[in-house]
Amino acid sequence: MRNDIASRRDFLKLAGTAAYAAVCPTGLRAFTAQPFSPSSAADSPDYVLRIAATAVEIAPKHIVSTITYNGKFPGPLLRFKEGQPVKVDLHNDTDTPEQLHWHGQFVSTDVDGAAEEGTPFIPAHGMRRIEFTPRPAGLRFYHTHNRAGADLYAGQYTGQVGPVYIEPQHLPGDYDREVFLVLKEFEPALSQGGDMAQDFLAPTAKVNALESAGESAMNASLAKGMPHGYEVGYRYFTINGRMLGHGDPVKVKQGERVLFHVLNGSATEIRSLALPGHLFKVVALDGNTVPMPAAVPVLWLGTAERISAIVEMNHPGVWIMGDLADDDRSHGMGIVVEYAGHSAKPVWAAPKPFHWNYSRFAKAGATAPPPDQTFDMLIAKDNAAEDGFNRWTINGAAYPMTGGVVPASFHLKQGQRYRVRLRNASDDIHPIHLHRHSFELTRIAGAPTAGVLKDVVMLGGYQEMELDFTADNPGLTLFHCHQQLHMDFGFMTLFDYV
């Protein structure tokens, strides 16, 4: 059982020195072993994050150049305590003003890290000090919220991603230790091939009207001689910044219960993860405890989604925990799991086909309370309409590509419960994200559900979905697709409080 929580000061040291064991089977012990060094200055920060161009070795002789936090990829694991205020100094050593978004936290617009909400930029070669009270408990993360557009060296195509774990007031003790995994690709490039259709979500019910609208818009565009809009692909794939076979293995003992905290830090990709001969007991989605923990053979995560899952180590050997896509795995998307006393070539075995259904973790038989108001959002794609990039619209409007604050499209009253009814007239899966609030999944592809709280959810191609949230954190609130290409080319909107 893990109760040896390091103090905030220990993590100040961690953040300051970037001495971060990315896989942290022994990580915490290493941190707590560091000498306690109280700061003399009363106004010194609790944490320091420094944004800078960095060389990152993802495998021997594979060195990528990117922007990171504290000179490492991933950025340092920040362990906050729920409800205990923190001071963070954000330094920007690059030539570009930056935004650092505290993804999944209920913070104010001044620190949230989204220019669209009015958060001030961290100036180029400057700094900002911010203060906030971390909440809610669970697996969160921080990442840049800059628009990248056509610049694949900007925004979340860079290495500006790091995990946050907010300690709850009472620790659940159902596991032996924690391992954090950050999934991330490097060296992006554009293509016009059209995206491969991914068919792993359940329920599978598509809406005919959405499909015929989407297909006829696409066919009309192609008939005019337009090419397919750009998609992004990657050369290298990593877990905790190392390609498969080139990082430290996750070393386990038979009978151990390991709590994996998995973060999809990709700018654009949906990821899957399997460990041959083992099941993942999912206990939290996006850091929020699920009503019905359930064991599954495969995890699926859209961009920015997080899953916390316990694996009982009861199948000794040396295994590859990796992505189901053979091509991505063979280019690095995996990590070796090695049982004590075993040494052999790591083994991969593809699991049987498995559909990912958020409702599996929902409250059985429960129905969500009715909302005070429902907002309809119809999502559509204008193929290749923006200099070869697809333009994305919500109810016919693309968010201006200047990235500034614009008048909000949807208005909230504090304390009211709202339902967002999403209708996807495109064949793409969209990881939909709401800032500064959590939402409850209340309907997935026609099937009602309740009790699963998230801040990102995958909306299937030509599908419908309903999300409910309570307006309980006043200020401008950004709602967008987390796929960088989609959000940068229109797929964003704002709520305000009136």
Tell me which DSSP letter residue 460 carries: P
Segments in 273-427 forming alpha helices (H): 326-330
Based on the shown chain and the rule CB under 5 A, indicate whether residue 433 belongs to the binding site for Cu ion: no
Q: How far apart are CA 363 and CA 450, in angstroms?
A: 6
Does the N-terminal peptide bond of residue 172 adopt cis geometry, omega within 30 degrees of 0? no
Of residues 331 and 486, the one with the C-beta less far from Cu ion: 486
Q: Look at phi and psi of residue 113 and say left if phi exceeds 0, alpha if psi is from -120 to 50, else beta.
A: left
Of residues 16 and 431, the one with the C-beta less far from Cu ion: 431
Tell me the two tokens of residue 433.
């994200």
Task: Dump the DSSP string for 73-104.
Answer: SSPPPEEEETT--EEEEEEE-SSS-B-EEEET
Of the candidate residues 290, 320, 457, 481, the single one contacting Cu ion (CB under 5 A): 481
Of residues 430 and 437, the one with the C-beta less far from Cu ion: 430
Tell me the two tokens of residue 10.
């220990």
We find the least distance from the C-beta atom of residue 486 to Cu ion, in angstroms, to be 3
We find the least distance from the C-beta atom of residue 371 to Cu ion, in angstroms, to be 24
Based on the shown chain and the rule CB under 5 A, indicate whether residue 423 belongs to the binding site for Cu ion: no
CA dist 307 to 48, 228, 283, Å? 26, 33, 8
Using the rule CB under 5 A, give the single segment among 236-244, 245-253, 334-342, 425-433 that binds Cu ion: 425-433
Buried b (16+ CB within 10 A) or exposed e, 185-215: bbbbeeeeeebeebebbbeeebbeebbebbe
Of residues 22 and 481, the one with the C-beta less far from Cu ion: 481
We find the least distance from the C-beta atom of residue 302 to Cu ion, in angstroms, to be 9
Of the candidate residues 101, 145, 391, 430, the single one contacting Cu ion (CB under 5 A): 430
Using the rule CB under 5 A, give the single segment among 13-21, 161-169, 211-219, 480-488 that binds Cu ion: 480-488
We find the least distance from the C-beta atom of residue 306 to Cu ion, in angstroms, to be 18
Based on the shown chain and the rule CB under 5 A, indicate whether residue 391 belongs to the binding site for Cu ion: no
Tell me the two tokens of residue 256.
């151990």
Beta bridge partners of 337: 250, 319
In 3D space, the residue among 305, 310, 309, 308 whose CA is nearest the CA of residue 454 turns out to be 305
Cβ neighbours of residue 467 closer than 8 Å, sequence gap 6 or more: 419, 420, 422, 432, 434, 439, 440, 441, 442, 457
Using the rule CB under 5 A, give the single segment among 125-133, 243-251, 435-443, 473-481 that binds Cu ion: 473-481
In 3D space, the residue among 394, 374, 393 whose CA is nearest the CA of residue 382 turns out to be 393
Of the candidate residues 486, 493, 494, 495, the single one contacting Cu ion (CB under 5 A): 486
We find the least distance from the C-beta atom of residue 375 to Cu ion, in angstroms, to be 18
Q: How far apart are CA 100 and CA 130, in angstroms?
A: 11
Using the rule CB under 5 A, give the single segment among 80-88, 251-259, 317-325, 475-483 that binds Cu ion: 475-483
Of residues 232 and 296, the one with the C-beta less far from Cu ion: 232
Of residues 157 and 175, the one with the C-beta less far from Cu ion: 157
**How many residues touch Cu ion (CB under 5 A)?**
4
Based on the shown chain and the rule CB under 5 A, indicate whether residue 261 belongs to the binding site for Cu ion: no
CA dist 371 to 318, 427, 432, 442, 494, Å? 50, 28, 19, 11, 19
Using the rule CB under 5 A, give the single segment among 29-37, 183-191, 271-279, 428-436 that binds Cu ion: 428-436
We find the least distance from the C-beta atom of residue 483 to Cu ion, in angstroms, to be 4
Of residues 15 and 394, the one with the C-beta less far from Cu ion: 394
Could you identify the residue written with the tokens 């409800």? 83
We find the least distance from the C-beta atom of residue 303 to Cu ion, in angstroms, to be 8
Of residues 77 and 232, the one with the C-beta less far from Cu ion: 232
Tell me the two tokens of residue 161.
């991603």
We find the least distance from the C-beta atom of residue 207 to Cu ion, in angstroms, to be 17
Does the N-terminal peptide bond of residue 45 adopt cis geometry, omega within 30 degrees of 0? no
Of the candidate residues 105, 109, 357, 483, the single one contacting Cu ion (CB under 5 A): 483
Of residues 430 and 435, the one with the C-beta less far from Cu ion: 430
Using the rule CB under 5 A, give the single segment among 72-80, 85-93, 261-269, 482-490 that binds Cu ion: 482-490
Based on the shown chain and the rule CB under 5 A, indicate whether residue 333 belongs to the binding site for Cu ion: no
Based on the shown chain and the rule CB under 5 A, indicate whether residue 377 belongs to the binding site for Cu ion: no
Residues that bind Cu ion (CB under 5 A): 430, 481, 483, 486
